[in-house]
């Protein structure tokens, strides 16, 4: 007899309990069949207290684990996460850190159960299970996902989980942002749904594998021990909670927290949004043609189609489709649907269901399986697809969610909840011998502190936010200098990096590094969701999107001479038409506007310089509605330029006492002129459509990467393709034709 | 349940509500009467009398124009049936070459017009820039939101609209007309 929610006991096999839970949700609409939250209703004080204790024990695990880890990524940046789960895998609560992984960890536990691991090899106290393999639901190889069963009174009552981002995944290129990986075989060390230890200790052969197959084994093993320390912390602290509040109460409450959170999210959708259909296109580039790549098939440019089609139903459930997603790419930017859904859970928690962050809110989502063979669902159609930096298309796609829900909140008047889209994520990794003679590779955390999106009532904040982690922390410059053979020459707010609108996004920053004390250092300017040939489709309410990512560097520079002569060095990026790397210093090879991502053609040497910009976030509103005083403030702070002030915001200024001031009368006239100019140069949509459809049909001025993208999008999602043809009134058999070869 | 003064909501919209009060709004349980207050505020700010059914954006509104549900700009410019993407009734200016692009993005900040075009949707009445799209050639304009108005009023607000209207995207009907 199969188990149902009412016949389940703690002796029922976990897989049967999991299936019974699914069935109960289907029949009752409530998780675990919980039509009433009795623990909450009967004893709300204890219910609330235990929630905070459980949250706190996860945060204690985070603090403990990151310090045990010792790698700069965890110890300095906190780039890890711990969680507590029900016996059947639902995330109950999580620590601070990289919250994007909560769903992934939950799915991993469920996957272990579904695959029958309870029977073989079995679950017992002190077992350590891990996965980082995207073929089995992992996101990318540097993110090691761990879980440990928690037994109490001889019963498996919960799970502790953790993910940490290691400094080197053993992939074909050094580091952890494997954007260049051509296939899954180059993605690095696989941990494929394995038991990697027992009795709270790793197997010796697990450590041997890490020592032989990663470039920074001390750090990678340090991360493993950090994960373990944190999971043991969760287990031991949970035991104390169970002793104090009773097993029955805590287990009931854990289920109720998940259902409670689902109800909260559904209610919030119903009371703060509007039913209907939402469509949001999004695109991102990956221009690699002519660059240093690994295989001949990678000498190409790619464009991603990252569509979001979302329907809010009458019952406040949400349907989500990625119909139109373009095909896989021969790089590390493909992602499994499991990992994508985990990212969605994080994004959703940011915009809707944040009261108790757990598995509850996204259970009210019906996510249609993305088209097979697309970047969002590569396996098994493209079984060899790499996912070295699977986050890259995922976070770019997720940015849509912020804008989409921002629009919905506006319609109900909840202006305080509105947000525009996020910025992009371009990483910096180094590989080489550092100042202590130690080989080191790893990710800096510059990208973990971007500008935050514009709000409905204010600009975003500068360098204070990151889409994939609420930490928003780029770490101390001095700590970065301890690990890597670099010196910070500057860390500056980047002017005009938050788009142009009534409210601008928070500004990003630029790090300026001088390479120092190394025989040679490789700089990998990586793609974790960057754009370099395009900008985001985030012109919300008439704003202009934030600028593309374009780093710079100088090789064999005159910095040594400048230092000896005590002359000014290079400390900032310089204006877009006056880059500092070519105007402030000399170099044998100077690149002031490189199309990212890339690896430097040869190792950088002492006194070479890198100018690495970090994106600001997106703006909202017509730029000529920006408060002139805000524009003036930005001018005085050096955060915008006179060109942008006058040409884009229509603000005319004077400079009576050395400080810029707004000329309000002249500004009003200028803005009226801009409105008239717009009307003069624009044409009725129909007029444009008639001409544009001819250009679409002729595929005029469309880069090959764009045509390749459209061809795969329309092939993989025929209905989406039909929509494109119908809109442009194209022949029924029309298809975009990429260049031969 | 929290409730906020209309004056404070107006200040919030205008970006002048002090931060402590804004935080209070962020942290409090949401006020059930916000939608009605917001519509009242917007109604007083627009240059038309038609009752607002839904503020689609801060500048565009679905209104009841003598029994027809149409989109109007705050200046009164009409964009037609709300079930047809309003962009088809807007003016459009497209930056699809470097010369046009560099009026917004200069030097290294310029996207590649072979990859992406900037489409600016302009109100023919007041010259407001209503939306900007940054998409490659071939991308149909985003129909950002098609509301299910009847479900919203009947099931969510509990006060059905006097008439009903089929929930359907009618954009392609308009395109088919143009294609004839």
Q: Do A689 and B130 touch (CB under 8 A)?
A: no
By the 8 A CB rule, do A160 and A234 touch? Answer: yes
**What is the distance between the alpha carbons of residues A24 and A9, in angstroms, rounded to a whole number?**
15
Same domain, yes or no: A199 and A53? yes
Residue A503: its chain B contacts at CB < 8 A?
15
Residue A151 CB contacts under 8 Å (≥ 6 apart), including other chains: A124, A125, A157
Confirm whether A205 is domain-assigned. Answer: yes
pLDDT score for A347: 84
Q: Do B114 and A723 touch (CB under 8 A)?
A: no
What SS3 class is residue A108? helix
CB atoms within 10 A of CB A7: 11
How does pLDDT run across A168-202, given as a tens digit for each residue? 999 999 999 999 999 999 999 999 999 999 999 99
By the 8 A CB rule, do A736 and A724 touch? Answer: no
Choosing from A262, A295, A320, the residue where a domain stops is: A262
Name residues 480-509 of chain A within 8 A of B (Cβ).
Answer: 496, 500, 503
Instruction: Select from B4, B34, B145 the residue whose CB has the most chain A CBs within 10 Å, as the one to mutate to test that interface.
Output: B145
> A375: closest CA among A411, A337, A344?
A337
**What is the distance between the alpha carbons of residues A176 and A75, in angstroms, rounded to a whole number?**
16
- Report the residue of chain B nearest A703, measured CA to CA: B114
Mean pLDDT of A647-664: 93
Q: Do B128 and A675 touch (CB under 8 A)?
A: yes
Higher pLDDT, A44 or A442: A44
Option in B30, B56, B104 nearest A272 (CB):
B30
Same domain, yes or no: A534 and A634? no
Residue B12: its chain A contacts at CB < 8 A?
415-416, 456-457
Option in A540, A548, A575 nearest B111 (CB):
A548
Of A67-76, A616-625, A639-648, least confident by mean pLDDT is A67-76
Choosing from A681, A698, A714, the residue where a domain stops is: A681
Q: Which residue has the tokens 């990026």?
A: A573
Helices A44-69 and A217-245 cross at an angle (nearest 10°) of: 160
Structure tokens at A190: 């696989």
> B77: closest CA among A545, A675, A649, A619?
A675
Same domain, yes or no: A488 and A538? yes
Look over chain B and give the mean of its residue pLDDT values, rounded to a whole number.
97
Structure tokens at A338: 């499991």
A673 touches B: beta carbon within 8 Å: no
Structure tokens at A353: 């269901």
Confirm whether A315 is domain-assigned. Answer: no
Q: Mind telling me how many Å the CA of B11 is from chain A's nearest CA? A: 9
Q: Do A706 and B111 touch (CB under 8 A)?
A: no
Strand partners, A611: A512, A552
Same domain, yes or no: A487 and A603? yes
Q: Mind telling me how many Å the CA of B172 is from chain A's nearest CA? A: 7
Q: Do B116 and A543 touch (CB under 8 A)?
A: no
Look over chain A and give the mean of its residue pLDDT values, rounded to a whole number.
95
Same domain, yes or no: A534 and A628? no
A577 touches B: beta carbon within 8 Å: yes
**What is the distance between the alpha carbons of residues B91 and B88, in angstroms, rounded to a whole number?**
8
Confidence of residue A353 (pLDDT cuts 50, 70, 90): low
Option in A540, A627, A679 nearest B127 (CB):
A679
> A440: closest CA among A477, A485, A388?
A485
Residue A656 CB contacts under 8 Å (≥ 6 apart), including other chains: none
- Report the residue of chain B nearest A548, measured CA to CA: B109
Residue A741 CB contacts under 8 Å (≥ 6 apart), including other chains: none
Q: Do B93 and A534 touch (CB under 8 A)?
A: no
CA distances from A645 to A90, A471, A503, A649 (A): 50, 32, 13, 5
CA distances from B34 to A98, A301, A352, B11, B59 (A): 34, 48, 17, 14, 18
Residue A690: its chain B contacts at CB < 8 A?
178
Listed in order, strand segments (DSSP E) in chain B are 52-55, 60-65, 68-73, 78-81, 91-95, 117-122, 129-135, 145-147
pLDDT score for A1: 42
How does pLDDT run across B68-120, given as a tens digit for each residue? 999 999 999 999 999 999 999 999 999 999 999 999 999 999 999 999 999 99
Confirm whether A458 is domain-assigned. Answer: yes
Structure tokens at A580: 């500092």
Confirm whether A734 is domain-assigned. Answer: no
Same domain, yes or no: A152 and A239? yes
Q: Do B92 and A682 touch (CB under 8 A)?
A: yes
Option in B37, B108, B148 nearest A275 (CB):
B148
Residue B15: its chain A contacts at CB < 8 A?
457-458, 503, 627
Same domain, yes or no: A81 and A215? yes
Using a 10 angstrom Cβ sphere, with 0-12 exposed, 13-18 middle and 19 or more buried, the burial of residue A549 is buried
Q: H or E segment at A110? A: helix A102-114
Q: Do B132 and A542 touch (CB under 8 A)?
A: yes
Same domain, yes or no: A440 and A473? yes
Confirm whether A272 is domain-assigned. Answer: no
Same domain, yes or no: A149 and A256? yes
How does pLDDT run across A462-482, given as a tens digit for each residue? 999 998 887 888 889 998 999
Higher pLDDT, A144 or A467: A144
pLDDT score for A741: 59
Strand partners, A578: A575
| A91 φ, ψ (degrees, to nearest 5) | -70, 125
CB atoms within 10 A of CB A35: 11
By the 8 A CB rule, do A354 and A99 touch? Answer: no
Q: Do A685 and B89 touch (CB under 8 A)?
A: yes
Option in B32, B55, B115 nearest A303 (CB):
B115
How does pLDDT run across A333-346, given as a tens digit for each residue? 999 998 898 888 88
Structure tokens at A707: 């045509």
Confirm whether A236 is domain-assigned. Answer: yes
pLDDT score for A70: 80
Mean pLDDT of A201-206: 98
A417 touches B: beta carbon within 8 Å: yes
**What is the distance between the alpha carbons of residues A583 and A187, in angstroms, rounded to a whole number?**
39
Same domain, yes or no: A118 and A202? yes
Quote the percentage of chain A above a pLDDT of 90. Answer: 88
What SS3 class is residue A267? helix
Is residue A9 predicted with pLDDT exceeding 80?
A: no
Is residue A2 predicted with pLDDT exceeding 80?
A: no
Q: How many domains does chain A have?
A: 4
Confirm whether A374 is domain-assigned. Answer: no
**What is the distance between the alpha carbons of residues A527 and A390, in angstroms, rounded to a whole number?**
10
Using a 10 angstrom Cβ sphere, with 0-12 exposed, 13-18 middle and 19 or more buried, the burial of residue A571 is middle
- Report the residue of chain A nearest B127, measured CA to CA: A675
A539 touches B: beta carbon within 8 Å: yes
Same domain, yes or no: A648 and A535? no
CB atoms within 10 A of CB A366: 12
Mean pLDDT of A594-612: 95
How does pLDDT run across A577-596, given as a tens digit for each residue? 889 999 999 999 999 999 99
Option in B9, B96, B179 nearest A729 (CB):
B179
Domain limits at A667? Answer: 623-681
Option in A281, A408, A690 nearest B142 (CB):
A281
Residue B143: its chain A contacts at CB < 8 A?
277, 279
Instruction: Select from A622, A623, A700, A721 the residue whose CB has the most chain B CBs within 10 Å, as the one to mutate to test that interface.
Output: A622
DSSP A670-735: HHHHHHHHHHHH-EEHHHHHHHHHHHHHHTTT--HHHHHHHHHHHHH-HHHHHHHHHHTT--TT--
pLDDT score for A6: 61
Mean pLDDT of A200-213: 98
pLDDT score for A4: 64
How does pLDDT run across B111-156, given as a tens digit for each residue? 999 999 999 999 999 999 999 999 999 999 999 999 999 999 999 9
Choosing from A621, A636, A658, the residue where a domain stops is: A621
How does pLDDT run across B24-52, given as a tens digit for each residue? 999 888 999 999 999 999 999 999 999 99
Same domain, yes or no: A62 and A161? yes
Q: Mind telling me how many Å the CA of A295 is from chain B's nearest CA? A: 24
Q: Mind telling me how many Å the CA of A436 is from chain B's nearest CA? A: 37
Confirm whether A736 is domain-assigned. Answer: no
Q: Do B144 and A279 touch (CB under 8 A)?
A: yes
> A273: closest CA among A351, A191, A378?
A351
Q: Do A706 and B156 touch (CB under 8 A)?
A: no
CA atoms within 13 A on the CB side of A230: 39
> A216: closest CA among A175, A270, A161?
A175
Listed in sequence order, the DSSP H helices in chain B are: 6-13, 19-27, 34-45, 98-101, 149-151, 171-179
Instruction: Select from A457, A591, A616, A627 the residue whose CB has the most chain B CBs within 10 Å, as the one to mutate to test that interface.
Output: A457
pLDDT score for A249: 98
**What is the interface size between A and B, counted as CB pairs within 8 Å?**
258
Q: Mind telling me how many Å the CA of B141 is from chain A's nearest CA? A: 9
């Amino acid at each position: 007899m199969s188990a149902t929610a009412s016949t389940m006991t703690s002796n029922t096999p976990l897989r049967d309990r999991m299936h019974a839970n699914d069935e109960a949700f289907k029949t009752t609409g409530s998780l675990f069949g919980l039509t009433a939250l009795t623990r909450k209703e009967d004893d709300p004080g204890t219910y609330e207290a235990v929630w905070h204790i459980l949250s706190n024990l996860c945060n204690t695990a985070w603090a403990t684990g990151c310090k045990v880890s010792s790698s700069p990524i965890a110890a300095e940046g906190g780039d890890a996460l711990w969680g507590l789960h029900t016996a059947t895998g639902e995330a109950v609560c999580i620590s601070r850190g990289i919250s994007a992984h909560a769903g992934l960890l939950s799915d991993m536990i469920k996957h272990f159960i579904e695959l029958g691991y309870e029977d073989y090899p079995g679950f017992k106290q002190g077992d350590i299970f891990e996965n980082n393999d995207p073929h089995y639901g992992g996101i990318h190889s540097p993110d090691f996902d761990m879980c440990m069963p928690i037994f109490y009174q001889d019963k498996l009552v919960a799970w502790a989980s953790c993910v940490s981002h290691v400094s080197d995944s053993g992939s074909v290129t050094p580091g952890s942002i494997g954007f260049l990986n051509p296939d899954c075989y180059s993605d690095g060390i696989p941990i494929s749904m394995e038991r990697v230890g027992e009795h709270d200790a790793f197997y010796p052969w697990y450590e041997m594998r890490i020592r032989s197959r990663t470039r920074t084994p001390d750090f990678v093993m340090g991360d493993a021990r950090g994960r373990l320390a944190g999971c043991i912390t969760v287990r031991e602290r949970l035991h104390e909670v169970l002793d104090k509040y009773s097993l029955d109460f805590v287990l009931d409450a854990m289920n109720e927290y998940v259902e409670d959170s689902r109800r909260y999210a559904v209610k919030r959708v119903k009371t703060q949004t509007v039913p209907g259909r939402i469509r949001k296109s999004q695109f991102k580039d990956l221009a690699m043609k002519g660059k240093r790549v690994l295989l001949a098939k990678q000498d190409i440019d790619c464009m991603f189609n990252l569509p979001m089609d979302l329907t809010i139903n009458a019952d406040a459930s949400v349907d989500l489709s990625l119909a139109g997603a373009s095909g896989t790419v021969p790089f590390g930017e493909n992602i499994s649907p499991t990992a994508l859904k985990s990212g969605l859970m994080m994004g959703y928690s940011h915009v809707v269901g944040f009261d108790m962050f757990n598995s509850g809110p996204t259970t009210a989502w019906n996510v249609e399986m993305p088209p097979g063979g697309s970047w969002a669902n590569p396996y098994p159609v493209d079984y060899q697809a790499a996912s070295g930096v699977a986050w890259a298309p995922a976070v770019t796609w997720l940015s849509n969610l912020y804008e989409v829900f921002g629009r919905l909140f506006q319609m109900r008047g909840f202006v305080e909840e509105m947000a525009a889209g996020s910025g992009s994520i371009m990483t910096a990794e180094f590989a080489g011998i550092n100042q202590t003679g130690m080989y080191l590779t790893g990710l800096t955390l510059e990208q973990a502190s971007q500008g935050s999106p514009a709000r409905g009532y204010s600009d975003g904040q500068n360098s204070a936010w990151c889409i994939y982690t609420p930490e928003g922390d780029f770490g101390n410059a001095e700590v970065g200098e301890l690990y890597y053979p670099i010196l910070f020459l500057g860390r500056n707010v980047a002017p005009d990096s938050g788009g142009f609108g009534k409210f601008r996004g928070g500004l990003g920053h630029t790090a300026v590094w001088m390479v120092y004390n190394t025989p040679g250092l490789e700089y990998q300017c990586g793609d974790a969701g960057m754009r370099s040939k395009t900008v985001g489709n985030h012109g919300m309410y008439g704003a202009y999107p934030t600028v593309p990512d374009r780093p710079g560097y100088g090789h064999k520079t005159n910095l040594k001479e400048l230092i000896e002569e005590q002359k000014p060095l290079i400390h900032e990026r310089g204006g877009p038409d006056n880059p500092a790397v070519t105007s402030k210093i000399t170099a044998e090879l100077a690149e002031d506007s490189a199309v990212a991502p890339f690896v430097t053609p040869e190792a950088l040497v002492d006194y070479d310089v890198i100018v690495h910009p970090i994106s600001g976030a997106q703006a909202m509103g017509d730029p000529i509605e920006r408060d002139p005083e805000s524009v003036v403030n930005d001018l005085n702070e050096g955060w915008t330029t006179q060109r942008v002030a006058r040409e884009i915001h229509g603000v005319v200024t004077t400079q009576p006492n050395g400080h810029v001031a707004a000329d309000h009368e002249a500004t009003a006239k200028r803005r009226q002129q801009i409105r008239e100019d717009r009307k003069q140069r624009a044409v009725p949509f129909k007029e444009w459509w008639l001409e544009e459809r001819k250009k679409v049909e002729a595929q005029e001025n469309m880069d090959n990467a764009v045509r390749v993208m459209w061809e795969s999008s329309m092939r993989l999602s025929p209905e989406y393709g039909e929509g494109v043809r119908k809109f442009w009134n194209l022949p029924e058999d029309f298809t975009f034709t990429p260049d031969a070869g | 349940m929290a409730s906020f003064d209309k004056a404070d909501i107006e200040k919030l919209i205008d970006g002048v509500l002090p931060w402590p009060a804004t935080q209070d709004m962020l942290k409090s349980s949401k006020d059930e009467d916000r939608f009605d207050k917001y519509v009242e505020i917007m109604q007083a700010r627009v240059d038309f009398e038609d009752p607002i059914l839904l503020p689609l954006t801060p500048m565009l509104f679905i209104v009841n124009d003598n029994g027809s549900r149409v989109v109007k700009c705050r200046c009164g410019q009409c964009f037609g049936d709300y079930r047809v993407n309003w962009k088809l009734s807007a003016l459009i200016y497209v930056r699809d070459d470097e010369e046009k692009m560099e009026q917004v993005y200069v030097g290294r900040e310029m996207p590649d017009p072979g990859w992406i075009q900037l489409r600016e949707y302009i109100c023919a009445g007041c010259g407001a820039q209503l939306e900007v799209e940054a998409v490659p050639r071939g991308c149909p304009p985003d129909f950002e939101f098609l509301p299910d108005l009847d479900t919203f009023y009947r099931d969510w607000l509990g006060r059905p609209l006097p008439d009903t209207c089929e929930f359907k995207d009618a954009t392609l009907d308009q395109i088919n007309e143009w294609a004839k």
